[in-house]
Structure 1
Amino acid sequence: MSDTPTRRPARRGGRPGRGGTGPRATFGQLLPYIFEQRGTLAFVIVLSVLGAAATLAQPLLVSQVITIVGESKPLGLLVWLLVGLVVVSGVISGYQHYLLQRMGEGVVLSSRRRLIARILNLPISEFDRRRTGDLVSRVGSDTTLLRAVLTQGLVEAIGGSLTFMGALIAMFLLDPVLLGLTVLVIAVSVVAVVSLAGRIRAASAEAQKRVGDLAASVERAISSIRTVRASNATEREAAAVAENAQGAWRMGITVAKVSALVVPVAGVAMQVSFLVVLGIGGARVASGDITIANLVAFIIFLFMMIMPLGQAFGAISAVNQALGALGRIQEIIALPTENQFDRSVLPATTLAASAVPGAASVEFAEVHFTYRSTVTVEGVDGEGSTESIVETPVLHGVSFTAEHGTRIALVGPSGAGKSTTLNLIERFYDPDSGVIRMDGVDIRALERTELRAQLGYVEQDAPVLAGTLRDNLRLNAPDATDAECSAVLHAVNLSEVLERDPAGLDAEVGENGIMLSGGEKQRLAIARALVAAPPILLLDESTSSLDGANERMMREAIDAVATDRTLIVIAHRLSTVVDSDKIVVFEHGRIVGEGTHAELIESTPLYRNLAEHQLLT
């Protein structure tokens, strides 16, 4: 069994901690995503200027039409010019809408690419403490909210601001008194919207956090559906997921309530402004301070000013919701990648040519390692939460050497540190102290890509990826030929799998390899490591799911491939151990014995006891 401690448990139901929404993003962090579309953005702004000009010209033409009609003069081409401006304004608006949608999709694509690249390069420790569903939610729903920045107000508000300013200037020229009263009403509405902006951002961030909790609970239930069904736990799991869905719904309602306060503000401002202009303006027409044509033009400009104001209010709501989601995205983007996480001060180097062609040596020298996990403790009734770091020491001064071209077996009770040893060789983690060397080179001085090119690793319960047989085999060797793929499948006794489907290497294995048996999945995982023929093979209980006949065939296949290669295997059965060049016995993170099978039977009581029971893990 794996000796990797269980990390932060998935929160089921209840209310997430108040501090769990992650850092809030700033508008400055949003700008790089927008400016990636700067070419289209510039064109949209030009269209906005043209659209604003066409829109602002219309009230002036209407005023001219009213004046000419009042004087009983012919309109001539004035009406057709007005119609033309309306059509041009509509065409510009439609094309601008398309460009905004396209820009929004571009922003979403860019953010998803950046986020996916960062997630897949995070240190393994981040995956230990984060829930898969929450990470998926950030790629899906959080990035989608960035689209709203462009499609629901921001750029339209930029164009609308031109209309707003143009209308403001025209209204000042028509009647400064009416304009002053209008601005007073609008100022009050602006203050109200700005005061709500912070609440929208906080509520949106919490809502996205709840969606992440929901996605995590759904992923947990679906990925374990067979166990859930077999345990008669379907209804309990459904209730737990529904509780998370309820939490997401509640926060969605909160966002809707706060956002809904913004919507009537623009409407009320428009109605009050209209009534003020209509009442005071009518009195000023009666007194001769303004003509009825100018009053009509003023009212039209008022509507043109209120409309972009509504767009600005909508933009404030959309931007603050996007900033809440962007905070969750930036939380992941800001995390260091695996290579940045603990970049060694050791000078970069490369592996020297091995003394044994195709083989390499591995040496552990006084290696200590401790797992550090984050534990979340909920407050009373789910209110608030605190996080603490829990340290679990695993390895204590481990030293051993796997010489060139030898077979080393690691044995010991569950939790003794065997799987951790392989994880350290792969540099999923780095030791707290001590050194791990490959061919005499500290592996921290190697690029992880170069290091892992030397390793073939089959983890315990190695996953089979959804896709075809070929997809799985080429994961570690993308240039492998069909002949090489077929040969390795035959070598691990998977000929039947290859032949039972007419598609051959194109046969689908299903989600999590559901089309394969447990033993077939394990053999396919081993074949995936063997097809690249690396200098070092790391096998974590790789034959534990095989019956006797298949285990024998598998050992023969591994024997053939392991020739002139270094093999480190975590043993499950005595038959896997007895032929090893050296056996290393682990207990409680320490090495308590080292030698051949015959030597350890005599010298190490723990090994003798395990061997007597035929169970070495």
Structure 2
Amino acid sequence: MSTPRRGLRRPSKDDGPRASLRQLVPFLLEHKRVLVVVGVLSVLEAVATLVQPLLVGDVIGRVQGGQALGILVWVLVGLVVVSSLIGGFQHYLLQRTGTAVVHSSRRRLIAKLLHLPVQEYDARRTGDLVSRVGTDTTLLYAVLTQGFADSIGNALIFVGAIIAMLIIDPILLLLIVVVIGASATVVVVLSGRIRRATLEQQEKVGALASGVERAIGSIRTIRASGAEAREQDTISATAGEAYDAGVKVAKASAIVVPVAGIALQVSLLVVLGVGGFRVASGAIEIAQLVVFVMFLFFLVQPLASFFGAITSVNQALGALGRIQEVLDLPDETAKDAAIAASAASATSASTAAIEFRDVHFSYPEAVVRARRSAQDEALKTLADARAPIPEESEPEPEATVLRGVSFEVPRGARVALVGPSGAGKSTTLALIERFYDPTAGAILIDGIDARALDRLSLRARLGYVEQDAPTLAGTIADNLRLASPNATDADCERVLDAVNLTEVLERSPLRLQAPVGEAGVMLSGGERQRLAIARALLAAPPILLLDESTSSLDGLNEQRMRDAIDAVAAGRTLVVIAHRLSTVVDSDLIVVLDHGRVVGQGTHDELVRDVPLYRDLAARQLLV
């Protein structure tokens, strides 16, 4: 049975992120000196180009009059060569500047992506964000390389040609303006369609990147499940949608591109037909007609460049809309000043290392929709594969996670958070780390509202080991020094020994410089988890937050890990989340959470006696 999907609403072609030419200005101003040089070269090239028809007319006149040409021909040849050289150098500058614009836009995006609020990562797909850095920024290259930056020279050539043609024969010029006006109308009408189609194409490419990233990141699970064909079909379908959107762009562009050629051909036929009649009638001379035809080509050439620029710039603006959408998002610290001012009232003389005061928390609606969409996709995959859907599947994601949570973590104590899945345990640690801020209530760190603390200084007090224990691609040393860049090799080896990872060092002569592979694939699950704990221990913060830190360890390594944590936790505050109650029965305080509420606090013996939920959990694990 297929489950309806309730994912984030797909943006239509009319409500997606849009960008304007004004938003391109900051990217271009970063290279204003080069663009000034390009502008000057454009003017010189325009002057050299416009003089050529006049010299040709003079040459024809002299030939007809039997006069000597002198150096006139050489001047004409020189102008052609100079114009070509200027054009070549200008082309190089535009190509280089276009590459620089892509580079600067990528740097801006990377800087923004690494400082977004955590909720943005929870609400968006990673592959789509990566696509904006790679694919979308590349389209900005066309803004400079497809005639946009040298518009000054083209405008001068266009205006100069119009003036010269007006002087030579206003009637012929009027006919040309009618043809060109019709062509320009077609291009303007199609430009909006190109932009919308490009935006749709880039969104599909982003979805494709997300699908590929998901499949590659889970390739072992996919292989083990024999799901390669199904994943291939799913990703291929997304690729097909991207192809269809690309075809829409191609169709619109295919109409725009030949418009300039058609305008030139029709204009040339009009000039030759009507112009020939006017030469025969004596209205103009043959030399004037030749010069008029040359100016016609000079008129259509910048026009063709302009038409091409419309296509390229509209494609770039579609991509820029997606780039600007991310750049306009607030940084994680954007509202900290206002939050800190309002949080100052919660500061007290509390002696607890951590205190939760009637904390309520609800995830933003975008995050809830994204989680529901991901859950529905998983159920749909099971249904398509005709696989049984587990009776005890993940609960429906809810916005409200914590409901009036209050407890204290004494300084230097070991406190455990326990409860069933979905009780709000991991969310509690996320709030301490200020990945999110409470919807209501306050969290105090050493008596100070966490929202009144700078995030960097707050997190410097905390050592956090996530439930999934992520390992970064690179070396063992790279992973250990992530939070402690100045740690020595001896320090690194000490914490590795403390978590029973010395044998990992001994596998390779590279020791600390041994690679761990993509996402730590060269380590076992337990080794990755111990490496993450070693990273936190190396930083030696006053507060340690461990989320299911021993879930992937066997009995021997779990005991070794507990001994290591006991040694390091001396004099420090420790908050532990664990499903294995055997690892937390000796905690100073155990807080029991259920459906976002605290249903009990105390020692193991007290909770077994007084709290039915805890007693049931302990009985299932044979601890009572």
Same fold (TM over 0.5): yes
Identity %: 63
Which of 459, 470, 493 lines up with 2:466 in the alignment?
459
Which of 437, 440, 456 lines up with 2:444 in the alignment?
437
Kindly state the Cα deviation for residue 128 of structure 1 after the two structures are TM-superposed: 1.1
User: 2 CA distance for matches of 1:530 and 1:615?
Assistant: 31
Q: Which residue of 2 aligns with 1:382?
A: none
User: 1 CA distance for matches of 2:251 and 2:13?
Assistant: 22
Establish whether residue 264 from structure 1 lines up as the match of residue 258 from structure 2.
yes
Q: Partner amino acid for 1:365?
A: R
Which of 552, 555, 559 lines up with 1:548 in the alignment?
555
Kindly state the Cα deviation for residue 460 of structure 1 after the two structures are TM-superposed: 0.3
User: 2 CA distance for matches of 1:216 and 1:73?
Assistant: 73
Contact 2:416 2:587 in 1 (8 A): yes
Shift of the 20–481 alpha-carbon distance from structure 1 to 2, 3 Å rule, reads farther
User: 2 CA distance for matches of 1:572 and 1:20?
Assistant: 48
Which of 292, 298, 307 lines up with 1:304 in the alignment?
298
Kindly state the Cα deviation for residue 575 of structure 1 after the two structures are TM-superposed: 3.0
Q: Which residue of 2 aligns with 1:383?
A: none
SS of 2:364 mapped into structure 1: strand
Contact 2:49 2:80 in 1 (8 A): yes
User: 2 CA distance for matches of 1:55 and 1:69?
Assistant: 22
User: 2 CA distance for matches of 1:372 and 1:474?
Assistant: 33
Contact 1:409 1:569 in 2 (8 A): yes
Q: Which residue of 1 aligns with 2:186?
A: 192
The C-alpha deviation readout for 1:85-134, integer Å capped at 9, x for no partner, is: 11111111111111111111111111111112112211111111111111
Shift of the 391–611 alpha-carbon distance from structure 1 to 2, 3 Å rule, reads closer
Alignment of 1:23-102 (within 5 A): 23-102=17-96
Indicate the larger mover: 169-178 or 317-326. Answer: 169-178
Q: Which residue of 1 aligns with 2:330?
A: 336
Contact 1:572 1:615 in 2 (8 A): no
Establish whether residue 535 from structure 1 lines up as the match of residue 542 from structure 2.
yes
Q: Partner amino acid for 2:33?
A: G
User: 1 CA distance for matches of 2:101 and 2:117?
Assistant: 26
Q: Which residue of 2 aligns with 1:218?
A: 212
Q: Which residue of 1 aligns with 2:513?
A: 506
Which of 603, 608, 612 lines up with 2:615 in the alignment?
608
Alignment of 1:81-480 (within 5 A): 81-340=75-334, 344-347=338-341, 361-374=353-366, 375=369, 391-480=398-487
Shift of the 578–391 alpha-carbon distance from structure 1 to 2, 3 Å rule, reads closer
Contact 1:217 1:241 in 2 (8 A): yes
Shift of the 236–615 alpha-carbon distance from structure 1 to 2, 3 Å rule, reads farther
User: 1 CA distance for matches of 2:56 and 2:412?
Assistant: 92
Kindly state the Cα deviation for residue 318 of structure 1 after the two structures are TM-superposed: 1.1
Q: CA RMSD in A?
A: 2.4
Contact 2:46 2:154 in 1 (8 A): yes
Contact 1:157 1:315 in 2 (8 A): no
Please report the TM-score for the alignment, with normalisation by the length of structure 1. 0.92
User: 1 CA distance for matches of 2:541 and 2:75?
Assistant: 77
SS of 1:408 mapped into structure 2: strand
User: 1 CA distance for matches of 2:123 and 2:198?
Assistant: 24
5+ residue gaps, structure 2, are 374-395
Shift of the 493–350 alpha-carbon distance from structure 1 to 2, 3 Å rule, reads farther
Kindly state the Cα deviation for residue 612 of structure 1 after the two structures are TM-superposed: 2.5
Shift of the 91–166 alpha-carbon distance from structure 1 to 2, 3 Å rule, reads same
Contact 1:373 1:390 in 2 (8 A): no
User: 1 CA distance for matches of 2:462 and 2:344?
Assistant: 17
SS of 1:395 mapped into structure 2: strand
User: 2 CA distance for matches of 1:225 and 1:525?
Assistant: 23
User: 1 CA distance for matches of 2:114 and 2:509?
Assistant: 34
Kindly state the Cα deviation for residue 341 of structure 1 after the two structures are TM-superposed: 5.2
Contact 2:340 2:453 in 1 (8 A): no
SS of 1:340 mapped into structure 2: coil
Q: Which residue of 1 aligns with 2:391?
A: none
Contact 1:372 1:390 in 2 (8 A): no
Contact 2:472 2:520 in 1 (8 A): yes
Q: Partner amino acid for 1:127?
A: Y
The C-alpha deviation readout for 1:66-93, integer Å capped at 9, x for no partner, is: 2222223332211111111111111111
Shift of the 10–501 alpha-carbon distance from structure 1 to 2, 3 Å rule, reads farther
Contact 1:26 1:323 in 2 (8 A): yes
User: 2 CA distance for matches of 1:176 and 1:372?
Assistant: 66
Contact 1:21 1:205 in 2 (8 A): no
Indicate the larger mover: 594-603 or 241-250. Answer: 594-603
User: 2 CA distance for matches of 1:500 and 1:67?
Assistant: 89
Please report the TM-score for the alignment, with normalisation by the length of structure 2. 0.91
Kindly state the Cα deviation for residue 570 of structure 1 after the two structures are TM-superposed: 0.4
Q: Partner amino acid for 2:257?
A: V
The C-alpha deviation readout for 1:203-251, integer Å capped at 9, x for no partner, is: 1111111111111111111111111111111101101101000000001
Contact 2:346 2:449 in 1 (8 A): no
Indicate the larger mover: 595-604 or 427-436. Answer: 595-604
Contact 1:373 1:391 in 2 (8 A): no
